Amino acid sequence: MKIRAAVTAAKSAPFEIEDLDLDEPRAGEIVIQLAATGICHSDIGAREQYLPLPLPMVFGHEGAGVVTALGANVTKVRVGDHVVLSRLTCGQCPACVRGNTNMCDLQGNLNLSGGRPDGSTGLSRGGEPIYGRFFGQSSFATYCLAHERNVTRIDPDFDLTLAPAFACGVLTGAGTVLHGPQPSLGSSIAVFGAGTVGLAAIMAARAAGYRTIIAVDRAASRLELASELGATHTITADDRPLAAMVRAIVPRGVAFTIEATGVPSVVRAAVESLESGGECALLGVGPMEQEVSFNHMQLAFSGVAVRGYPTGLSEPDELIPQLMELYCAGSFPVDRLVTRYPFERIEEAAQDSAQGAAIKPVLIFA
């Protein structure tokens, strides 16, 4: 079928909306008519080739829309269902079988190879393949191919132009707090980076019962929003030592830090802000070759832990509906993060996201 999609032709190239052909769905696959899709910093990083992805490719991994066609053997959804899309997993490896799909053995090949396991891409232009299947969807398009394993059914009354905000970024930030160390009386947390991930973490930290919630960012507007969403303290990131500024608020260090910038110096500060036995969650990422360093003695003698939380260790089918219920109850105001753009303004939306002018851009398909 004919679709319109935003194609990235080369590293750092602007998104160009083009007419493409979408394959018919195969076994287990689904065609989604997109109502909206979010722009995540992972999309920007993919365009900048933080990972060596094949090009030209259609990115986008926070889609929401309506199921319009099913391949053979699909049982999870029906035509007409409203869904949110997330990352694709195999469902058969040991991690998937035990319900920890974030650690899927095949996630790299399924989400970042540019095509199906047999090498087909699902997208073409004039008979020439265009790489797709980005996070199992490539949702910078009017229609996309997904798999029943990476769609989550949602209430048909929920606003589909807001639904993408509950995908990758919010899922990761909120899930990290909910699946990380559970707060005890007086527990403290510091969140480095007040973008979508960080602000979702702050909202979840308030809901989880953290007493001291510190937000760290360069932008005054984001720190102001962080305060409105639950931060008890804010720190403006400048040339001063960040860890010392955190410890000026909590002298012994905080119990949990979330690093959502991917900047090596900030990563180190997040670790140095921990109390003995505390934990740092690494959520922000930089280029593939980027490295970070820590003080060996500090880690060895203070008992702190540093670990990744891919997608916040969340299972989308479980957490997305829960967060949507919290939003409807007025206690998880994700809409405060969203700026909507027509699909045709995708390049403007991407630039606003990269420059920090928009926290969670959402592209709307007319």
Residue with tokens 């909206």: 36
Helix or strand run (H / E) with residue 345: none
Kindly indicate the confidence band of residue 356, based on its pLDDT and cuts at 50, 70 and 90.
confident
Residue 117: CB atoms within 10 A of its CB come to: 11
List domains and CATH numbers for the chain.
2-166+333-364 (3.90.180.10), 170-310 (3.40.50.720)
Residue 58 CA to chain centroid, in angstroms? 17
Question: Distance of CA 66 to CAs 21, 151, 153, Å?
Answer: 19, 11, 10
Please tell me whether the peptide bond between 342 and the residue prior to it is cis, using omega within 30 degrees of 0: no
Averaged pLDDT, 197-210:
96
pLDDT tens readout for residues 163-175:
999 999 999 999 9
Kindly indicate the confidence band of residue 210, based on its pLDDT and cuts at 50, 70 and 90.
very high
Kindly indicate the confidence band of residue 287, based on its pLDDT and cuts at 50, 70 and 90.
confident
Residue 196 has pLDDT above 80, yes or no: yes
Kindly indicate the confidence band of residue 141, based on its pLDDT and cuts at 50, 70 and 90.
very high
Bridge-partner residues for 365, per DSSP?
A: none
Spatial contact of 47 and 36, defined as CB atoms under 8 Å apart: no
Distance CA 158, CA 151 (A): 15
Distance CA 144, CA 131 (A): 12
Residue 215: CB atoms within 10 A of its CB come to: 29
